[in-house]
A and B are shown apart, each in its own frame.
Chain A
Amino acid sequence: MTACSSKPSAMPQQFTEVSEEAQIYPDYRDVTIPPNIAPLNFMVQDSLADSFVAQVGNLVYGARKDGKIEMDTTEWRQLLSGARGQELAVNIFSHRRSGWVRYPAFTLHVAEEDIDPYLSYRLIEPGYELYRQLGLYQRNLTNFHEAVIYENNRAFVDEDNHCVNCHNYQNYSTQRMTFHVRGNHGGTIITNGSEAHKIAIKHDSILAAGVYPSWHPTLPLVAFSSNKTGQVFHMRHLEKIEVLDEASDLLLYDAEKNTVRNVLRTRNALETFPCWAPDGRRLFYCVAQLPPSVLEDYTAFNVAMRYDSLLYDIYSMPFDPETRTFGEPRIEVNASADHHSCSVPRISPDGRFLLYTHGDYGQFHIWHQSADLWLKPLEVESSYPLTAANSPEPDSYHSWSSNGRWIAFVSRREDQTFSRVFITYFDKQGQPRKAFLLPQRDPEYNTLLLKSYNVPELTKDAVQVSTETLKHIVYHTDAELATYKE
Chain B
Amino acid sequence: MSKNKKRSPSSDPSPVLEGSSVSSSRAKEGRPAASKSNLSPLPNRGGAVLLFFLLAWLWASWWMGDVMRIASERSFFAPDTTLMHWLLQQRMGWLWLLGRALLTLYHWPLLGGLLVAALLTVGSCLFGYCLHLAPRWRWLQYLPAAAWMTWTASAGLNLFYRHEPGRILAIPFLFLVLCGTFSIITWLYKRRQMPLILREAETAQPSRSHFSLFILHASFFILIFALPLAITHFRHPYMRPLTRMQVQLMHNDYEGIIRTAHDHPAMSYRQTAGYYVIALARTGQLAEKLFDIKLDYDTIWTETYHGLPSASLNYHIVDCNYHAGLIRAARHYALEDLTMDGPALYTLKYMVKISLLEGDWKLARKYLHILYKVPFEGAFLRKYEPMVQRPDLVQADPEFAAILHNLPPYHTFEQMAEKPAFVGFYATLQAFSSPEMLEWSTVACLYSKRMPDFLMRCRKLVGTTPPRSIAEGLVIQAAKNPEILQAFPQLDMLMDRFQLFLQDARPYMKDRERGSEALFEKYHGYYPYYYFFGNLRSTRKPDKAEEQEHNKAGVN
Contacts and interface: CB of A to CB of B under 8 A. Distances in A.
Interface of A: 124-133, 154-159, 163, 165, 182-183, 229-237, 240, 243, 304, 414-418, 442, 444-445, 447-450
Contacts of A130: 336, 339-340, 552, 554, 556
B415 A232 contact: yes
Interface residues of B, number: 45
B473 interface: no
Contact of B306 (A131, A157, A304, A448): A157
Interface string B413-445: 111010000000100000000000000000000
B360 A416 contact: yes
A469 B33 CA distance: 69
B82 A442 contact: yes
Interface in B351-366: 360, 362-363, 365-366
Interface stretch (B292-300, B404-412, B501-509, B515-523): B404-412
Interface string B318-360: 0000000010110110011011100100000000000000001
Contacts of B555: 129, 229-231, 243
Given A232-B415, A233-B328, A448-B80, A129 B366 contact: no
9 contacts: A129-B336, A131-B554, A159-B306, A235-B328, A235-B411, A415-B366, A447-B370, A448-B83, A450-B370
Given A130-B556, A236-B411, 20 more contacts: A127-B339, A130-B336, A132-B339, A229-B555, A230-B555, A232-B414, A233-B329, A234-B411, A235-B414, A235-B417, A236-B407, A243-B555, A304-B413, A415-B363, A415-B365, A416-B360, A442-B82, A447-B370, A448-B373, A450-B83
B62 interface: no
B366 A418 contact: yes
A233 to B, nearest CB: 4
Contacts of A304: 413
B411 A237 contact: yes
Contact of B335 (A125, A133, A234, A416): A125
B198 interface: no
Given A130-B552, A235-B413, A158 B306 contact: yes
B437 to A, nearest CB: 13
Interface stretch (B84-92, B127-135, B148-156, B382-390): B84-92
Contacts of A415: 362-363, 365-366
A159 B306 CA distance: 9
A157 B554 CA distance: 18
Contacts of B408: 235-236
Nearest to A233: B414
A182 B554 CA distance: 10
A128 B89 CA distance: 24
Contacts of B335: 125-128
Contact of A158 (B308, B366, B373, B411): B308
Contacts of B407: 236
A128 B332 CA distance: 6
B433 to A, nearest CB: 11
A442 B86 CA distance: 17
B380 interface: no
A234 B425 CA distance: 13
Given A126-B335, A235-B328, A414 B362 contact: yes
Contacts of A450: 83, 338, 343, 370
Nearest to A122: B556
Contacts of B23: none
Contacts of A157: 306
B369 interface: yes
Nearest to A165: B556
Given A236-B328, A415-B366, A127 B556 contact: yes
Nearest to B332: A128
B305 interface: yes
B304 interface: yes
